[in-house]
Amino acid sequence: MQREEGSVLMIAMLTITIITLICATSLYVISQDSTATTQTTAWQQALAGAEAAVDHGINALNTGVWTNVTGNNDNWYTVTGSLPTSKPRGGSTANAVPGNDNYNYYFPPSLSLQGEACNSVSMWVTIDNANLPLDTNGNQAYRIRGTGQVGAPGPRRVSNQKMDNDLRKISLIYDRLSGAAVTGGQPMATRRIEVVVVPTAQSMWVRGLLAQHQIQMSGGGWIDSFDSSSGFKSTNGLYDVTKRQSHGDIATNDSVSADLKTFSDLRNTYVYGSIQYSGPAIKNITNVQGTVSTPFATDIPIPADPSWASGTYTTVAAGNPGTLNPGTKSHPALYKMTGNFTVPGGNVLNIPAINPGTDNNYVTLWVKGSFTISGSGYVNQGANVHVTYYLDGDVTVSGSAFLQAGTAYASNNQMIAVGTGNTTPTLTVSGSGNYIGTIWAPIYGITVSGTANLSGAFIGNNINISGGASVHYDEALKNLIEGNSTGNFAFASWFEDNSDPARGIIY
């Protein structure tokens, strides 16, 4: 009897032990699953904090509000030195954008959350200029680093999702970015986003063609776009059909002619972009690759003649001035011609680059009479010389009438056709060659004939393109800032730093 009772006890103990082990293993695995879930959730929540922090940075740049940001006496601070790897500290209250040797930082209010993982997301954001150069308009780009941090509830150990560890990089004991011990021994999920923002402008050069009235296309040309500021979308700053973009948009406020006799007709021209219009439907738009929408209404700015004070400009005789020397960017050379401007075949108007610097040669020529460049005549423009023409009479040029040394940019050749005293002014581009520039002629009837390639952007009253001429809208013109005013900031680069230097993991 004793041996039988002992056997029962042992069997009972063994059974209890096995059941206990099974339960313990199950609980351990479930605990690991729970840890994996909370760590995953915390990692995903941290992204919301990082992005919110970046938004705070952009808001500060756009509004210029650096103090009492949310009305709770919370301020940005400025610190001299390079960006920290951990939470920024110290410094004095900021009241402006950071300069070359300092950065601004801010701790936005925490985000409250509900659900799994932590119930609060903390964040901070820094802004510096990273010694980025000024853009062509003299405006500064900025680097914004937003960091979001969320506590990951649970033990300080990796989860059973081993492959998660290379992605989420939860800071269990040491912060993965700073290397310092985590605050309060609490595991943390940290995510950091770095963006570079650049100033943008409310430019009217946001589409290839903009007309007050009708647009006519024929001859087999096409409308598309490129970006002279991007090597991916141009070749050496010039249009390249193999890098064609699809932002060659066109628009008209009223698709019928002013005399109500002629309607806009694209004659199945390929348009690699969208169309916006008001008035009667534009005809033959089968080959429009983008969207066609109506209505459309925009106030096309009407240019005016310059108002130069006496003594600030040079008067030149009618005909061909021969040579016009530029001034500097801050003091452009101003020339006024009261007669007709003419560069006949075999003649050249030289506008050389004479001032030091890559962006320091500016000329403005105001022609009260007609503007004609005929035959093989042309304007020989030095490298990166900016020329602005104010024109009041009729304009007749050939596609190859403007030769820019080095890379030819549309923003360097601006034709502002005012048409003062001219009730029905015309602007004609004929022949072959590449016309690279902008034409702002809202009361002019623009006619493009021949096989010229037009690169830039064009604004007219009526626009008639025939003979196979094509239009290539330069997307870089969107950043052309009239009056050098700065609009809002926009992303130029976006990157998440998910590295773990201590483990040698960078991507």
Partner 1 sequence: MKISRQRRLGLTLAEITMSLTCGGIILAAVITAGVALQRSFAAVEGYSIAEGDQLRIQDYIAMDCRRAVSATVNSTTNTLTLTVPNYYDASGNPQNPTYSSTYGIQYGSTGGTTTIKYYRSGSNFTREVAGVAKPIATNVSTFTVTAQDLTSSVTCSITFAPRFTNLPGPGPVAGTTVYCNTFLRNAIARQ
> In the bound complex, what is the minimum distance in angstroms from residue 170's beta carbon to partner 1?
13
User: Which of 20, 95, 202, 230 contacts partner 1 by CB under 8 A?
Assistant: 230
Residue 104 contacts partner 1 per CB under 8 A: no
User: Which of 7, 17, 20, 26 contacts partner 1 by CB under 8 A?
Assistant: 26
Q: What b/e sequence results for 419-452 when a residue is b if at least 16 CB atoms lie within 10 Å of its CB, and e otherwise?
A: beebeebbbbbbbebbbbbbbbbbbbbbbbbbbb
Cis peptide before 321, with omega less than 30 degrees from 0? no
Report the half-sphere exposure of 397 (CA within 13 A, side-chain side): 25
Q: φ and ψ at 363, to 5 degrees?
A: -135, 140
Residue 506 contacts partner 1 per CB under 8 A: yes
Question: C-alpha angle with apex 92: 87 to 93, nearest 5 degrees?
Answer: 95
Pick the stretch among 319-327, 390-398, 410-418, 492-500 that binds partner 1 (CB under 8 A).
492-500
User: Partners of 497 in the beta sheet?
Assistant: 192
Footprint (CB under 8 A) of partner 1, residues 112-151: 130-133, 141, 143
User: Which of 55, 116, 164, 359 contacts partner 1 by CB under 8 A?
Assistant: 164
> In the bound complex, what is the minimum distance in angstroms from residue 96's beta carbon to partner 1?
21
Q: Report the residue number, 213 or 233, with the smaller CB distance to partner 1.
A: 233
End-to-end CA distance of the chain: 70
Q: Report the residue number, 22 or 292, with the smaller CB distance to partner 1.
A: 22
User: Partners of 224 in the beta sheet?
Assistant: 472
Residue 232 contacts partner 1 per CB under 8 A: yes
Q: Report the residue number, 133 or 185, with the smaller CB distance to partner 1.
A: 133
What mask, x for binding partner 1 by CB under 8 A, covers residues 455 to 484?
A: --------------------x---------
Number of residues that bind partner 1 (CB under 8 A): 44
Question: C-alpha angle with apex 124: 118 to 125, nearest 5 degrees?
Answer: 145
Q: DSSP labels for 391-432?
A: E-S-EEEETTSEEESSS--GGGEEEEE--TT-SS-EEEEESS
- Distance between CA atoms of residues 12 and 437, nearest Å: 94
Residue 499 contacts partner 1 per CB under 8 A: yes
> In the bound complex, what is the minimum distance in angstroms from residue 381's beta carbon to partner 1?
19
> In the bound complex, what is the minimum distance in angstroms from residue 250's beta carbon to partner 1?
19
- Distance between CA atoms of residues 35 and 473, nearest Å: 54
3-class secondary-structure state, position 486? coil
Q: Which residues bind partner 1 (CB under 8 A)?
A: 22, 26, 29, 33, 36, 40, 43-44, 130-133, 141, 143, 161, 163-164, 166-168, 194-196, 227, 229-232, 237, 475, 490-499, 501, 504, 506-507
